[in-house]
Chain A
Amino acid sequence: MDYSQFSAMIPELIVLGIFILVFLFDTFASESARKADGMLTTVLFGLGTVAICFTGCLPQECFGGMYVCNSVSFALKCILNIGVFIVLVQSLQWTDSEDMKMRRGEFYELLLATLFGMYLMISARHFLLFVIGLETASLPLAALIAFNKKHYESNEAAAKYIMTAVFSSAVLMMGLSFVYGLSGGSLYYNDVAAAVANGEMSGMLIVALAFVLAGIGFKLSLVPFHLWTADVYQGAPTSVTSYLSVISKGSAAFAFFVIFVQAFGAVYPEAWEWMLYGIIILTITVGNLFAIRQKNMKRFMAFSSVSQAGYIMLGVIAANAIGMTSMLFYILVYIFSNLGAFGVIQAIGNKSGKLNMDDYKGLHKSNPWLAFAMTLAMFSLAGIPPFAGFFSKILIFTSVTASNSMALYMLVLIALINTIISLYYYLLVVKAMWIAPEDPVVPAFRSACSERFGMWICVAGIVFIGLVSPIYGWLSEMSNLDASQLFAWLG
């Protein structure tokens, strides 16, 4: 065996190294030293992020092609790393509480373990490695959701999550077994693609695709597989919710893109374009309509993230290099906007335990900076011009219209109408904070240093990412490098 292949796995190895260090520190350090668990992880992870972003990657295939290191997956890993860093910074205050004393280290260990799984999932080019990555990502998440074990909601959310997660992976594996039957005995994406391209359309292929779509759709909370989302988001600790809504969704969306475009690209118009078409319309619309009537902020963000997942999927149905680029860009912007909103929710929740939209009334009188950060995040999620969300939406719409098909134009039109609907409910939050005449419910307080740091990163991201064009150019360059490999089988 050639051990130099491991040098292609630098991001994974760094995450694994930090995991081991934190684990050893948490096991052997004295009780007073263990207070520094969170700080240690955050600092190490920040250094690791910088190291990953600057080492770059040498495109190569390892382990017989099971794992690839290419520019697109590398770019996504950098983006996710930034997101996880912000999540870690924002969670510092919460893990500092007395209640978390014994379990502080475990939180960080489980978080890093899921991140490791997501990296494998992103880089996998073989269905076995993909399934292992997916499970490594979703099983520790169940434990994280159950983390507030003294709170009843956390337990209920975890039970709902683990049952749907196992159900979805069973459906996924059933679909993969049919894919295996069709593929000529190999589960490499490229071999599957060749078999699908040479074989003829059959009912079995449609069933297999539908099962795989459903399996990954559960992880991405696409409608009609979204029913767990609201309850799990509400019950989980807020740090875990923010992690679940951006990092887990971003990596699953990318894996979805690679599987459908690379492995099933040959049957794009016949088999999965129309499936995805219906699912995207349903996801965006249902997510929006349910978000309107939510009162709890975390449930509200859950339905908002369902509809945002629909927008991310627009990049998949576009199935071209611009689609890949704008999907990465959308994920980056989505990380900053969503984490900004969750940062505010978490700061207020930690201080006063209030989570309802009505509690945000008059927030600008007591905590103007929190209200400011929340407003920017909402503007960005809704896609109001000077902020990053506007640019990510424009780019993803452009990618869908690139193929000049009438049906896809209609899809963009529906997505546009939904953007207007979403404006209404995002602005409800803004209205509660700035316009509602009531006296503030949440008293004035100074949020912790780490929380403010996290929020400032998000605010800077929201304001600048859209305006700073090199980021999009860089992502575009990265996806063009791999375009020949990714879109080889597309008709």
Chain B
Amino acid sequence: MYSMDLGILWYLVPSVLMFACGVYGFVTRKNLIAILVSLELMLNAADLNFVAFNRYLFPGQMEGMVFTLFAIAIAAAETAIAIAIIINVYRAVGNTDINEISKMKF
């Protein structure tokens, strides 16, 4: 029989993996949009962590859920600004490749 009771690790391990994938993508990707997608993965990993901790460790409270709600709103605002800046960069350079926007150097 399937059990409805998954342990907390079933949530924490995927969330850490998601975070690691996000960091990996952030470091290796060359396109600004792809970097932004990686960042979203990282933010969502943190949200997942919060919800899992709240559900399993402190089921009587809502603090983690509320934090997640705010974190989602913040992530949306961040994405909006990042997209606006990427559009600006696209207008200035003609593409969104990060190799094209590294003119300032040591």
* Chain A interface residues toward B at CB < 8 A: 127-128, 131-132, 135, 139, 142-143, 146, 149, 152-153, 155-159, 162-163, 165-167, 169-171, 173-174, 176-178, 180-181, 184-187, 230-231, 234-235, 290, 293
B4 close to chain A: CB less than 8 A: no
Interchain residue pairs A-B with the least CB separation, the first 10: A185-B58, A177-B49, A170-B42, A173-B46, A181-B53, A174-B46, A231-B104, A166-B39, A158-B85, A156-B101
Q: How far is the CB of B61 from chain A (nearest CB, A)?
A: 5
Q: Report the separation of the CA atoms of residues A159 and B100 in the bound assembly, to the nearest whole angstrom.
A: 12
B57 touches A177 (CB 8 A): no
Partner among B66, B77, B92 whose Cβ is within 8 Å of the Cβ of A128: B66
Given that A174-B42, A185-B57 are known contacts, is A142 also in contact with B104, CB under 8 Å in the complex?
Answer: no
Set of chain B residues within 8 Å of A173, measured between Cβ atoms: 43, 46-47, 71
A178 touches B39 (CB 8 A): no
Q: Report the separation of the CA atoms of residues A290 and B71 in the bound assembly, to the nearest whole angstrom.
A: 36
List 26 A-B pairs, Cβ < 8 Å: A128-B63, A139-B81, A146-B85, A152-B103, A153-B103, A155-B92, A157-B104, A158-B89, A159-B85, A159-B86, A162-B78, A162-B85, A167-B42, A169-B74, A174-B45, A176-B67, A177-B50, A180-B63, A181-B49, A184-B58, A185-B54, A185-B61, A186-B61, A187-B63, A234-B104, A293-B106
Set of chain B residues within 8 Å of A185, measured between Cβ atoms: 54, 57-58, 60-61, 63-64
Q: Report the separation of the CA atoms of residues A165 and B81 in the bound assembly, to the nearest whole angstrom.
A: 11
Given that A131-B74, A170-B43, A177-B46 are known contacts, is A159 also in contact with B63, CB under 8 Å in the complex?
Answer: no
Set of chain B residues within 8 Å of A159, measured between Cβ atoms: 32, 85-86, 89, 101
What residue of chain A has the Cβ atom nearest to residue B49's Cβ?
A: A177
Set of chain B residues within 8 Å of A167, measured between Cβ atoms: 26, 39, 42
Q: Report whether over half of chain A's contact residues are helix, strand or loop; otherwise say mixed.
A: helix
What residue of chain B has the Cβ atom nearest to residue A232's Cβ?
A: B104
Set of chain B residues within 8 Å of A180, measured between Cβ atoms: 50, 53-54, 63-64, 67
Given that A156-B103, A162-B78, A163-B82 are known contacts, is A170 also in contact with B70, CB under 8 Å in the complex?
Answer: no
Task: List B residues 64-80 near A (Cβ within 8 Å).
Answer: 64, 66-67, 70-71, 74, 77-78
Q: Report whether over half of chain B's contact residues are helix, strand or loop; otherwise say mixed.
A: helix
A139 touches B88 (CB 8 A): no
Set of chain A residues within 8 Å of B46, measured between Cβ atoms: 170, 173-174, 176-177
Set of chain A residues within 8 Å of B39, measured between Cβ atoms: 163, 166-167, 170
A163 touches B88 (CB 8 A): no
B101 touches A135 (CB 8 A): no
B57 touches A155 (CB 8 A): no
Set of chain A residues within 8 Å of B74, measured between Cβ atoms: 131-132, 135, 169
Q: Report the separation of the CA atoms of residues A165 and B35 in the bound assembly, to the nearest whole angstrom.
A: 13
A170 touches B22 (CB 8 A): yes
Q: Report the separation of the CA atoms of residues A163 and B49 in the bound assembly, to the nearest whole angstrom.
A: 22
